[in-house]
Amino acid sequence: MTQQHSDRPDIVGGVDTHKDLHVAAVVDAHDRVLGTASFPTTRHGYKTMLAWMRSFGKVSRIGVECTGTYGAGVLRYLQRTGITVLEVTTPDKTVRRKRGKNDTIDAENAAHAAYAGVRTVTPKTRDGMIEALRVLKVCRKTAVAARRVALQMIQTQVISAPEDLRDQLRNLSRMKLIRTLAAWRPDMSGYRDVTMAYRIALKSLARRYLELHDEVADLDVMIKAIVDELAPELVSRTAVGYESAAQLLITAGDNPDRLSSEASFAALCGVSPIPASLGKTQRHRLNRGGDRAANSALHIIAIGRLRLEATTQRYVSRRVAEGHSKLEALRCLKRYIAREVYYVLRHRHREINQAQIAT
């Protein structure tokens, strides 16, 4: 029985992901398409899809599109089965121009990419504490945005309010204004009157702001607890706050060992210089790719260190004296900070793994 299983041909799968249906394709050891089929985005659908793929042979790896969104569910299911999963990134533009685009073609292209090992990366596992951190941080971001909109609406309404209301409110500080409005008790039956309608609207906006303010505070406590547990050494470094540390942890993922070197982490954060030399002119250009949120976090750390650290100040001054602009010096500094962060995260990841093995 074992001999028969080992004699089965190796095949490679590809999955084009969608909200309700995933389209799967299978190619053989010579990259020839063996079949395509559609499956629902449910646990039973994932199980049926894997069984369908295995009917063609032994599955060596599967390329999946959009593992962070529509493909997150199938990614978790396949990883639990022990199958190697690759995330398929940008589509092949040459193939798309020649063949066009539909779900079947996209699934076949994902299988071809996984077979050749091109346009693929190792996906984040999305089943650990960093995935929980990402979800909380996304929730916090939307709450902060909604709170900002509520404050803007309050300020706009105060400006256009009747004179007697505006005189009461125009000189109050932000939080005193919010708490004053939230404490109002307008007559809810008098909404036909302009002044009373302003009172009702301003009270509603102020209560909304306070609720969002409390929500952000609660989320901050959770985010801080996770960061303290996952990377206490990182937040102890100069100018590394909890927001920046959380973003860098999310960028690295629950499996930072998927990053082969500190240079790959720098490229992921968009701080690795890109060669742009021509002839005898040797130069590098700014990297505009990578995770821009991580790039922003590194920039905030760099600005903080430039204000607080004498060593960083001397480094930037030396770079400027060599003929670089201050922005170019900051880009170099961000590259060094990315290296420091990478080794801190890798060391902490090894400590966590060793602790789990010991228990």
Position 201 scores a pLDDT of: 97
pLDDT mean by block of 10 residues, the chain; 359 residues: 62 96 96 96 97 96 94 94 92 76 92 93 89 96 98 95 92 94 95 95 97 98 96 95 97 89 94 84 82 96 96 96 92 95 92 76
Position 157 scores a pLDDT of: 95
pTM to 2 decimal places: 0.86
Neighbouring residues of 231: CB distance < 8 A, sequence distance ≥ 6: 245, 249, 344, 345, 348
Position 344 scores a pLDDT of: 95
Radius of gyration of the chain (CA): 27
Position 283 scores a pLDDT of: 77
Sheet containing strand 10-16, strands side by side: 33-40, 21-27, 10-16, 58-65, 84-88, 120-121
Q: Are 348 and 234 in contact (CB under 8 A)?
A: yes
Among residues 174, 285, 301, 314, the alpha carbon closest in space to that of 243 is found at 301
Position 285 scores a pLDDT of: 79
Position 109 scores a pLDDT of: 92
Position 359 scores a pLDDT of: 66
Q: Are 259 and 274 in contact (CB under 8 A)?
A: no
